[in-house]
Amino acid sequence: MMTITASAITARTVALCLNPDGKARFFLPQKSHWTLYKTGEIVRSGETDRVITFIDCLDPATQYVFEVDTGESFTFTTAECAGRVDIREFGARTEATNNGAAIAAALASVPVGGTLAIPEGLWHTGPLFLKSDMTLHLEPGATLTFITDRDQIPILPAHTAQGDMLGSWEGLPDACYASIVTAIGCTNLEITGSGTLDGAGAEGDWWSWPKERRNGARRARTLFLNNCEAVTVSGITVQNSPSWTVHPLYCHDIEFVALAIKNPADSPNTDGLDPECCSDVLLEGIHFTVGDDCIAIKACKRGDDGSDDHIRPCEHITVRHCYMERGHGAVVIGSEMSGSVRHVTVEHCEFLGTDRGLRLKTRRGRGGEIAHVRCRNIIMQEVHSAIVANCFYFCDHDGRSEWVQSRAPYPVDASTPSIHDIEISDLVIRDVRVVIGAFYGLPEMPIRSVSINNIHASFDNSTEGDVPVMALHVPTCHHVGFSTEFAELNFQNEHEYFPLSIEKE
């Protein structure tokens, strides 16, 4: 029995969730043939191998019936559109080196509830600053690509005129270059289509200064949302990012559905999608292949001077039906988590070749908590270490100091981080090199209330191990079940995962 629901509907696109058994992950157990009807007539047909299926080029305010070959159907109606504005009508040309002015003029003319259309072709542009109550539609065959001349790219200051954080870098206020698509304080915004947003990271020199500044600013993201609400991003490919690829900061009620996020393996700090200090976020049906963490959930960090007026919680985050193919971590929480990261659910996903699977990281000085995290129904294959929680992460200039790395207890205060209430269940883990689980808590604040249930795991054929976490005083592990220090783990159904099976399913 196929269950069909809508994940995202815009005026011209839809993302549907096809779930035959309620437990499907990113790929369907078998391909499904589908047919799309309008007023009883067939208007489209195809096949899909994915749980989240995206369809472009629909008519606004129109009822459709989507039917699969097993007989189930789903009826939906696309949203209304107040008018489509084509960038070519304002002078945009594929041969132009920078269409920024033409596209900005087109964007300014989009009516409330209207659509800015990026048609087929390669369009070079500087940063676009979107507005509320509009849709940006990257149509089939369209590629919107960033210019590489930084002198033509504005710099976002660290703070707004009201004193709120605007530009940021690794959890602190900092000036940074504007992104090719930037939205600040927008509501009711949609970014959709089957086209591509290209950050031109390889074409510029962005990757040669990953931890530095140029002209007093940090590297650009590709899609940056700041203080936005009610935003849907669906269907598009986002690639070749100068740094973090998609970065929502201080946002509420946002969803990212059926995206492809792609960066070369050697591109530095090109995280896939980093919700920071956000609430009510959905990440669904996304295919990641990146140069750093696939998903990194963050909540800023305290400054060296103790400043914390910029930090806010990040909570109610759902990740499901995603495919993390390569990356340093599949789903990572921290290390910037001073505002606390709470109520995170990761379910029905597939991790292939990521260094770590689920990764929690913090250190003394961060404060805040990582709490109420659920990870279930996941397949991990060829991961370095499957599940890790590290309270000695040696980030920042003092990361290897005695204060950060000491196993002697320190006084508990507002700067003491905590990790607690973690539920891990129904995991299939194949070909692990180092460790199934590594949990390293602080002596003054142990990791607590970790529930582990129903894990089936096997090791790879490697002959050498490694340290499972980025911290000092950690033993090298090779084909280890669980390595712990100052951590409380509660195992359920222990016979199901220990001793670990060496059989392949």
Looking from the CA of 194 toward its CB, the CA atoms found within 13 Å total 13
Dihedral angle, C-alpha 396, 398, 400, 406, nearest 10 °? -120
Question: How far out from the chain centre does Cα 317 lie?
Answer: 10
Catalytic residue chosen out of the listed positions 56, 198, 292, 293: 292
Q: Which residues of 406-440 are buried (b: 16+ CB within 10 A; e: fewer)?
A: eeeeeeeeebbbbbbbbbbbbbbbbbbbbbbbbbb
Q: Residue 250: which of 232, 228, 233 has the closest Cα?
A: 228
From CA 378, how far away is CA 89, in angstroms rounded? 48
Q: Is 104 helix (H, G, I), strand (E, B) or coil?
A: helix
| Three-point CA angle 343, 443, 299, nearest 5° | 30
Which H, E and C letters describe 281-330, residue by residue?
Answer: EEEECCEEECCCCCEEEECCCCCCCCCCCCCCCEEEEEEECCEEEEEEEE
Catalytic residue chosen out of the listed positions 310, 328, 348, 384: 328
State phi, psi for 416 to the nearest 5 degrees: -85, 120
State phi, psi for 106 to the nearest 5 degrees: -65, -45
DSSP label at residue 499: S
Active site residue 328: yes
Active site residue 292: yes
Looking from the CA of 215 toward its CB, the CA atoms found within 13 Å total 15
User: Which residues belong to the active site?
Assistant: 292, 328
